[in-house]
Structure 1
Amino acid sequence: MAEISESDLRAAHTLFGTRFDLAERYVEHLATSGIERGLLGPREVPRLWSRHVLNCAVTAELFPSEATVADVGSGAGLPGIALAIARPDLSLTLIEPLERRVIWLREVITDLELPNVEVFRGRAEEAVGTVKATVVTARAVSALGGLAAMTIPILEGKGELLAIKGQSAPDEVAKSRKLIRKLGGREVSVQQVGAELLEQPTTVVRILVG
C-alpha cells in the first residue's frame, strides 16, 4: 500500500470527504497495476498521494459546478480520475492515445464505478468536434504554447483551460501569451491552490477563452 503522511491523510479526507475510500482504491491501482504496466515509475510509489493524487485533487475548487471536462493526455488518470472522485458533479472525458493506458483507465473506472467518466482513445487534435467540453485540463503534457494549441480548439471558442504546471509557469505564460491570444485566449492567469492543505501547493495556469 502506498504510504500517506498524517498531513496528507487530513488533506485527503478534506478533499474527498465520504469518497475517501474511492481515492484510496485508486491509489492502490496506481501502486500495483499502474506501476506493473509502466504508467508510472516505481520510484513514484512513496509520492503517489502527495505528488500526484492530492496535487491534482486540490484543483477541483477551480471547476464550475456540473462542468463538462476534457482531460488531455490523461495517462494514469491524472488529473481526471482524481477530479472525478473529488467532484462527482463533473462529467469527464479522459483523452489518451496509447491503447495500454486506455485499457488500464477503463479497468480502473469500472472497478471504482465512476459513472461520470469516459475514455476517448486518440490525440487531442482528434477529439476536436467529437469531445464536448466547457473546461479542458492537462498535467505534464507539454510546454504551455504547445498545450494551448492542442487543447483550446476542443473548447470550440468558449470555455477555459486549467493546466497544472510547475514553477516555470510564469515564464511559460510570458513566452506563449501571443500564441494564446491568437488561439482565442482572452485572459491568462497563474494561480496557486491548496496552500492551506498541502506542503507544496499546486500551480495552475488558467486561460479563459471566448
Structure 2
Amino acid sequence: MVSNGLDLSGWAAPPGGREPGTRDGVHIVAVGRLAPRKQPVRLLKLLQAARARVPSRIPMRATIVGDGPARGQMERFLDRHGMTGWVSLPGRHTREEIAKVLESADVFVAPAPRESFGIAALEARAAGLPVVARAQSGVADFVKDGTEGLLGRTLGDLAGAVARLCTDAELRESIAAHNRATLPAAGSWPTVLEGFDQAYELARDRRSSSGTR
C-alpha cells in the first residue's frame, strides 16, 4: 500500500524551541476526532494508568485536540475520576493551532489499534516529538521502538511507555533530538512517488505473466 503524500517541512520544530519537560511538567498530546469507533475513553484510561505509575513529584498534563460525539462521554469520565485539573479537551483546532500545541509538547500518543496510517502521529514525529503508539498499527511503519518513539501491543504497554517517557528525561530527549534532526521518509513525496512506480511495475509484471493485453 502506498501512503499519503504530505509536506512535512512545515511541522519541523523551530530552532531553539522550548526545553522539553520544563515549565508546567511533561506535556502529553493527542490529536484526532473524538468518535466512539476510535475509543477515545481508552486514551483517558491510558493517561490515568500512566499518571498512577509516575511519581507525584513529576507534574504531568495532557491536551487532547479534537471534537466529536464522544466528547461528552470523555468529559464525564474526567469529572468522575478527578482528572480535569491536568487533562484538557480544547476542541477542534486549525493546522496552525495544532502546530503551536505540538511546540509545547513532550510526548505524542496515538493509541488507536486500527490506525491504517496515522497522519497526526506522522506530523507529531516531524515536529520532533517522541510518539507512543500501537505496534500493530500503521504508525509502526515510521516509528521504530526506541528510536522515534515507543511501541506497545496493549493499553497497559502504552501506559507504561508514556510513564517511562515522563520519568526518563534522558530517553525522552534523545528520541526528541533524533526526530528533530531527521525528517521521516514516510509520507514524503519522493517516497510516495517511488511507491507508485513500484506498484505500477508490479501491475505490469502481473499483467504480462497472465498474458493479458
The verdict on a shared fold, with TM-score over 0.5 as the criterion, is no
Which of the five TM-score ranges fits, normalised by the shorter chain? Answer: 0.3 to 0.5
Which of the pair has the greater relative contact order for Cα pairs under 8 Å at 6+ separation? 2
TM-score of the aligned structures, taking structure 2 as reference length: 0.43
Query: Which protein has the bigger strand share?
Result: 1
